[in-house]
Amino acid sequence: MDWDALLADLESRFEAERRAEIAAQAADLAEAEIASLRVADRLRGALGRTVRLRTCGGVPVDGVLTRAEDGFVLVEEGDGLQALVPTGSLAFLSPLPGPSPEPDRHRRPTFQAAARELARTGARVRAVTSAGDIIGRIGRVGADYIDILVDGPHGGSGDPRPAGGAPRTGVVTVCLTALDVLRSR
């Protein structure tokens, strides 16, 4: 009996089994990593690129992605128009590259924090919902709503899209779950 050949064959089989096991573990790890990805992770990979987004209400938001957080994205639509979109309102996104590393999680801004900043600056906004648009300035931001101080007679929707009976003056409370896009200049 040739012990050297027998032991070499045995070592070769053990090495082949070890490599197969490592390959299987690597595939399992890759699958687990993909399963843990969120759309915000993929959106971060698209920062600085042109994206085409559609909200659940069918509102198109096309432009350069400038910010991607867990709760919202910010898109430069051109001509100074910016769109703040809650990630929960997103339906279709294209193109999205692979994920980008997650930023420091200590204190990331939320949609509500971004809306409060718009309120502080007094920026005029258009809140786009499937029920209609509300134009005005943000007066207050709650946990699940924003109050908009409507701009005069055309603040209920402007001309092109009816507001579904929204008041044209005063304060209108918009539920964040109904909000597709918050646009400002």
What pLDDT is stored for residue 133 in this prediction?
Answer: 94
Backbone phi, psi, residue 61, to 5°: -135, 105
pLDDT tens for the chain, residues 1 to 185: 788 887 788 888 888 888 888 888 877 777 777 777 888 888 999 999 999 999 999 999 999 999 999 899 999 999 999 999 999 999 999 998 887 767 666 668 899 999 999 999 999 999 999 999 999 999 999 999 999 999 765 555 544 334 555 566 799 999 999 999 999 98
CA 58 distance to own-chain centroid: 15
Tell me which CATH code domain 39-94 carries.
Answer: 2.30.30.100
- Tell the CATH topology of 111-184: SH3 type barrels. (2.30.30)
Calpha distance 45→125 (Å, rounded): 28
Angle at 144 between CA 38 and CA 70, to 5 degrees: 20
Calpha distance 83→184 (Å, rounded): 7
DSSP string for 57-90? T--EEEEEEEEE-SSEEEEEEETTEEEEEEGGGE
